[in-house]
Amino acid sequence: MYKELLQHASGVGQSSSQKRKAREKATHLALVKYLENDLMNIDETPLESADKSDTPIDSGEQFVWPWIGIVVNIPTSRTPDGRTVGA
């Protein structure tokens, strides 16, 4: 997985295609730099496949793609002007 991610990020980052914006290329090149500098020394032993796991599969589990932060269960209150704010 590491090698595939590195290959994708470097391919997009070094792309000369006009359809890719500079910001997209820059974020991919930053990912390449992070992978090469910070993750290169991590032992590359493969993780156990999820298929081989004995844990039951929750078919109702929901995923969000692309990855984003989701904040839930935060107490909120409504201000006099109608806005909702975190308490």
Q: Give bridge partners of residue 85 from the DSSP assignment.
A: 77
Residue 64 is predicted with a pLDDT of 64
Residue 1 is predicted with a pLDDT of 78
Among residues 37, 21, 2, 66, which one has the least CA distance to residue 13?
21
Per domain, the residue ranges of the chain are 2-46+61-86
The secondary structure element, H or E, covering residue 79 is none
Among residues 61, 63, 27, which one has the least CA distance to residue 8?
27
Q: CA-to-CA distance for 28 and 13, rounded, in angstroms?
A: 5
- Taking only the tens place, the pLDDT of each residue in 66-87 is 666 666 778 888 999 998 887 6
Instruction: Return the CA Rg of the chain.
Output: 20
- Taking only the tens place, the pLDDT of each residue in 26-45 is 998 998 888 888 777 655 55
Model's pTM, two decimal places? Answer: 0.44
In this prediction, residue 54 has a pLDDT band, given cuts at 50, 70 and 90, of low
Where is average pLDDT lowest: 10-14, 15-19, 58-62, 79-83?
58-62
